[in-house]
Each structure stands twice: as C-alpha cells, then as structure tokens.
C-alpha cells in the first residue's frame, strides 16, 4: 500500500511539472482525483515542498516569458508589468485611500425594488 502511495505521489509530481502546475490537468493525466492530490499536499511535507517548488519554477518560467514579450516591445505586456511592479511609481489604475494609516471602511446601502426613493 505504501509503495502504491509513493508511486502515486511521484506520478502526480511528474504530471504536475508537465502541466506547469495545473492540478486538474496533472490529476487527469495521473488518473487520480484532486481530493487525493490535496490529501497528499496537506499531510506530506515533502510532497508539499515539491509541489511548491514546481509552482515557483512555473512562476519563474512565466515571468521569463513576460519579459521576452517586453523585450519585443509588446505594449500590453509592458503595461501589465508596470501596473504590478511599478505601483509605487504611480503606474496603477486604482487609488489607495487611507486615513491616518488605517483603511477607510465603505458602507454600501442596498436599495431593494420596493424601497421608495427620495424625490
């Protein structure tokens, strides 16, 4: 039984690497359920570390591909990168509103169809 689990984990990791970290695809290829994957992930620190490592490698790969697009002058890639990596320089389309260092809470009133509006 234990050797079967060990083989399942090994196969899942191989499939996960091929799928660039996509769990559903890896489980489908390995012919194992996602539940099995997440049980292994939760209960086996070594398996979890290997999965996390694959995810980090995937992020490195993806970031490298993004940088290639930027080098080629892809405007969308440049804008995307600047929005997320250069926020402190003002490259963003959102506004951070704070008050004394604390976030301001927003209260939203929901109007139901039968509520009377002020005229």
CA distances (Å), 88 to each of 83, 94, 97, 111, in order?
10, 12, 14, 37
pLDDT at 88: 80
Residue range 54-69, pLDDT digits in tens: 999 999 999 999 999 9
Q: Does the residue 99 lie in any domain?
A: no
Q: Is the dihedral of CA 30, 32, 35, 37 positive or negative?
A: negative
- Rounded-to-integer distance, Cα 100 and Cα 19, Å: 46
- Note whether residue 105 is domain-resident: no
Torsion angle of C-alpha atoms 111, 114, 118, 119, degrees rounded to 10: 130
Task: Domain of residue 42: give its range.
Answer: 2-89
Low-confidence ranges of the chain (pLDDT < 50): 119
Assigned token pair, 69: 């697009």
The total number of structural domains that make up the chain: 1
| In-domain check, residue 26 | yes
The pLDDT of residue 12? 97
Decide if 16 is inside a domain. Answer: yes
Q: Report if residue 102 sits inside a domain.
A: no
Residue 94 lies in a domain: no
Residue 100 lies in a domain: no
């Amino acid at each position: 039984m234990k050797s079967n689990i060990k083989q399942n984990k090994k196969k899942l990791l191989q499939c996960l690497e091929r799928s660039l970290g996509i769990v559903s695809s890896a489980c489908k290829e390995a012919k194992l359920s996602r539940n099995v994957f997440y049980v292994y992930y939760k209960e086996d620190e070594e398996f979890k570390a290997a999965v996390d490592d694959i995810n980090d490698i995937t992020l490195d790969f993806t970031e490298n591909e993004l940088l290639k697009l930027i080098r080629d002058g892809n405007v969308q890639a440049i804008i995307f990168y600047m929005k997320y990596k250069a926020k402190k320089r003002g490259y963003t389309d959102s506004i951070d509103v704070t008050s004394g260092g604390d976030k301001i809470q927003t209260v939203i009133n929901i109007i139901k169809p039968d509520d009377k509006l002020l005229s």
